[in-house]
Structure 1
């Protein structure tokens, strides 16, 4: 098995080098047989990556502790699901997962029926192959997944308790699918520039790829937030941790890209901006990987310190410099055919403002993340940037983006007249103001919360009007029933109405953020058996402290009975789990009682021999809306890409290069 498993890596590296050589040679001398040979190599490359994955899965599942990776991340008593997910618990395994997805995406593009005969394919494949060469090199010589241990241990170290959570099954996988997915539009953009194709064909061809990558990034961030909420026992879902930021930054820039490409498609504008956005998004995925694996920043998510960070930094530098060189070499061609803005009060201007806000948010996160490194390099002291900085900077940006999202559907392309503005915004604005007044009457006093909820009300109204007017216009032409008209309107405009659904989802998430950040309640109290803790409308009775065995793990738990406004909600068990083969702190099992209005969050913090226990209790308002909004985002993104068509678009190449023969 040792020879076979390592052979998959080294043969994969050789095949990647061969395919890259054949592909570039075929492009240079215009020989299709070389390109066909390289495409055959792509299949072999995917097989190598798949066999390496299967081999590591087998070694993990069967507890082959003679392999260093297996001994470091599993133990014989670990549940089989966590033995398997340990594949992405460490550097070597997670990079193998990355490589597998990369080779899968490359094969899907190279052999896609929609891409058959497209002269961009060899260039796209070459760029993705260059990525594959780098990752196979790392797996072969730096982070070796099949390295043998110096001595064979009788038992493995086991998996970090924080990773023994259902979130471990899906969070890293979705995040990596998003990271690797962004290499696809990047490769398309570079191929289009090399071919001097400055129209929007490459954007139309990669639209679905980009939305899917964005969707997986969204899922990765959502599942990560949910994991943190239930696992870490601190009562929050986002701590602006450097690794959290690393996944959030490309999400922001990709969101900006998805909006600005619509202006290029409709108005032939922002070509340089769009290329720049996709370069930045791709570079940020590499930067995030550098942060996770370099050890330069402290993070609960980061892997152990290693020299991998330097390799990723060099590769990221080469990729960015190379792509910027290609962009600048085509700059005059891009600018020569670009359109211009005709009015500041127009839909395209609102898209541009939205883009600037998104990129500004990404830059603020980037600066806050790297500032400790900058301060250490300049002053010799690492200054930590905490949650207050990010909340202070990002909150007004978020509300500004929400406002732009609210008004954008009501604006016309090119120019919105004063008459149209009055017609479209007078009633929604009045209703939003009335909503803000009602909130104040109901007791919402904080200014940011009132403004935020007012903007959300405005967004809901303008988006409802978009659906209403669309249905009304369709019914006028077709005489269809309202729900039939709505259904057919949406499926014939999937991208538009899928985008509106995503906007509504983001508004619901913002509702949850505003409520949980501004109106949460918290107490920490030590009580004896039979005593209670009061917080808001809740009373928590402490009934019992006990201990039990779960496999080889020891579990200390408290029985508590929860009442709200005198009504019994039930009995719950906040826990601490001690893992037999781990020297780290015990993991926390939180008791969470959720409702549409708020969450009650109970943590068993500490206890004494006489039965006294210390509990942390929080009331987190509006938390359910954060998860509902997340679900809406996923539904909207899937709706936008499901059964989409390329509208019979054919490539229009303005460059001097011709398809190889």
Structure 2
């Protein structure tokens, strides 16, 4: 059966190469029969990649430890849920997952009724990408290779087991959603390149790929959010984003993808930014490949990376090839892309969108520079010089605030040219409300300038979002005579794309509140105590009750501490928190399970760091204000994206006609 899985990969590689050539020849000769054969090859590659994936999953779930991949990432005590998730726990399995997703995405493109002129080119480009992954799987990291020294008839009865840090729901959700985002951006890239090849200077490729782009951005957002929650709960360092190189690798395409989603609106509405848009979509896809290179090359050190392997060089070459492909096409077609309108005034919605793009790309460039600086320094000086979190925070904080200010300005500024009177009328109320709110915060004792800037910017954005919604609702009321609630409901349902965007912005603002609070007013304490002694931090008194053990099943053992949490000011018992270390039978190192008491105001976060036989233990305790709003905002963003994707009433009415 393992041989069948490997044969599926090899045959899929052959068919992907045939499909590429068949698309190329059929386009040039206009041979429809050959075009149909090329589409059949696309479908065959998808079926074969599915067969290989199913065989690997069967081995993982059934526990065939004669397969090296199964041996390395599963064990008999591992729950079935995590055996299945082992599909993407290692190099070869995760690349097979990538191929599986990409091959079926290619089927949808090849058989799509939209963009019939562009689809064959896009399909050929996607098949080229599939061929690369199939080559890697066939010749460099075969997921079906047997354990060294295995012979037919041998029985391998146990596996090495999965890394304890991966046995967490967050690490089940995070990788697959991130891959869905990474692979999803291949579609707009392929269509963008197809538009350049065919000299199509219009926005057809953007209309075709709009939903693809939003879906890819949605999954990448969900992947980053799940990864941050995993880091917060599993790594035990008190934070959720450490500017780790692999974290940065998934942030980079999210930033440029966000810029692309905003700038395409200018091309659709004003026929502008054509070169910029095709460059952005190329950069975004190249950054997904670059992130994959970082994870698999071993060139950087990260808790998220797969470790050192020879795959890095191949991914680097492929990444450079895709980058060169995009640059050459953009340069050759620049004359077609520069056709269109130009900006009429600096004070306009178009200009605010462009500034928004420049800030996003500026943040991406800074993050890319900081992430690759160790590589650059080693190449130039022969010594790796790492860039820490202070660099990223110093650069991204002011740019991030500028981005949110622009987010607040965009909804209320006019297209083409905004007058000073119009700006005054539109922004008077938000500015006054923000000024009074910041003054109130100052009088309440919030004096940190970064906190005031962050909270003030968030309040400004919230006020402009709600003002825009109220103004739109009132206009609809005057036109229809509907009640306020009915008008606001119809306004949202008939303009899902626009108002879904406002929901997304609101989610981002809530996340800004969480980031600002947790970075400016967080406190921490590390202390060794005996049972019966107390700790004091923030508004809490923590009484250390005892240290004990408990059986968690599946051969797992937990060492945990019990804390009674009291309000420091009134002595009221708030609850019991139990941080713990969990030991797994296949690992010498325990995993961290933090003790967490979370409210909308703040998180009390306790880590069991070390302990003695007499119960004396060392704890790391953190109080992180407003972290809950980071997660709430993230899921508001996800909801807003889904809301924007859902067909509006207006669109459904058009389809019915």
TM-score range, shorter chain: over 0.9
Q: Which residue of 2 aligns with 1:497?
A: 499
- Among residues 222, 225, 243, which one is paired with 1:222 in the alignment? 225
CA contact 1:519–1:620 (8 Å) conserved in 2 = yes
How many angstroms does 1:436 deviate by?
0.7
Provide closer, same or farther for how the CA distance between residues 313 and 134 of structure 1 changes in structure 2, counting only shifts above 3 A.
same
Q: Which residue of 2 aligns with 1:161?
A: 164
Instruction: Report whether the alignment pairs 1:457 with 2:459.
Output: yes
- Among residues 582, 591, 595, which one is paired with 1:591 in the alignment? 595
CA distance in 2, matches of 1:322, 1:646: 39
CA contact 2:496–2:647 (8 Å) conserved in 1 = no
CA distance in 2, matches of 1:171, 1:473: 42
CA contact 2:42–2:107 (8 Å) conserved in 1 = yes
CA distance in 2, matches of 1:613, 1:476: 67
Q: Which residue of 2 aligns with 1:437?
A: 439
Give unpaired runs (5+ residues) of structure 2.
151-155
Q: Which residue of 1 aligns with 2:142?
A: 144
- Among residues 620, 628, 643, which one is paired with 2:632 in the alignment? 628
Instruction: Report whether the alignment pairs 1:201 with 2:199.
Output: no
How many angstroms does 1:333 deviate by?
1.3
Matches for 1:292-311 after TM superposition, within 5 Å: 292-311=295-314
CA distance in 1, matches of 2:33, 2:483: 57
User: Which fold has the larger relative contact order, with Cα–Cα distance below 8 Å and residues 6 or more apart in sequence?
Assistant: 1
CA distance in 1, matches of 2:527, 2:512: 31
Instruction: Report whether the alignment pairs 1:570 with 2:568.
Output: no
Q: Which residue of 2 aligns with 1:656?
A: none
CA displacement, residues 123-158 of structure 1 (integer Å, 9 cap, x when unaligned): 110010000111111110011100111135542111
CA contact 1:66–1:151 (8 Å) conserved in 2 = no
Matches for 1:112-511 after TM superposition, within 5 Å: 112-115=112-115, 118-152=116-150, 153-335=156-338, 337-511=339-513
Q: Secondary structure at the match of 1:618?
A: strand
CA distance in 2, matches of 1:611, 1:283: 53
Q: Which residue of 2 aligns with 1:582?
A: 587
CA distance in 1, matches of 2:222, 2:613: 43
CA distance in 2, matches of 1:537, 1:648: 58
CA distance in 1, matches of 2:303, 2:394: 23
How many angstroms does 1:647 deviate by?
11
CA displacement, residues 19-44 of structure 1 (integer Å, 9 cap, x when unaligned): 11111110121111111011111111
CA distance in 1, matches of 2:2, 2:475: 67
Could you tell which deviates more after superposition, 555-564 or 50-59? 555-564
Count residues in correspondence.
645
CA distance in 2, matches of 1:318, 1:616: 47
CA contact 2:2–2:55 (8 Å) conserved in 1 = no
CA contact 1:186–1:278 (8 Å) conserved in 2 = yes
Matches for 1:533-544 after TM superposition, within 5 Å: 533-544=535-546
CA distance in 1, matches of 2:70, 2:291: 25
Q: Which residue of 1 aligns with 2:153?
A: none
Q: Secondary structure at the match of 1:469?
A: helix
Q: Secondary structure at the match of 2:535?
A: strand
- Among residues 621, 643, 656, which one is paired with 2:647 in the alignment? 643
CA distance in 2, matches of 1:413, 1:18: 49
How many angstroms does 1:267 deviate by?
1.2
CA contact 1:205–1:646 (8 Å) conserved in 2 = no
Could you tell which deviates more after superposition, 639-648 or 476-485? 639-648
TM-score, length-scaled by structure 1:
0.96
Q: Which residue of 2 aligns with 1:518?
A: 520
Q: Secondary structure at the match of 1:541?
A: strand
CA displacement, residues 509-556 of structure 1 (integer Å, 9 cap, x when unaligned): 010000000001111111111111111111111111112233322211
CA displacement, residues 436-469 of structure 1 (integer Å, 9 cap, x when unaligned): 1011011111111101111111111111111001
Instruction: Report whether the alignment pairs 1:71 with 2:71.
Output: yes
CA displacement, residues 338-395 of structure 1 (integer Å, 9 cap, x when unaligned): 2111111110000011000000000000000000011111111111111111011100
CA contact 1:231–1:590 (8 Å) conserved in 2 = yes
Q: Secondary structure at the match of 1:404?
A: helix
Runs (4+) off by over 4 Å: 644-649
Give unpaired runs (5+ residues) of structure 1.
650-661
CA distance in 1, matches of 2:510, 2:434: 16
CA contact 1:65–1:156 (8 Å) conserved in 2 = yes
How many angstroms does 1:646 deviate by?
11
Q: Which residue of 2 aligns with 1:41?
A: 41
CA contact 2:609–2:618 (8 Å) conserved in 1 = yes
CA distance in 1, matches of 2:129, 2:433: 52
How many angstroms does 1:623 deviate by?
0.6
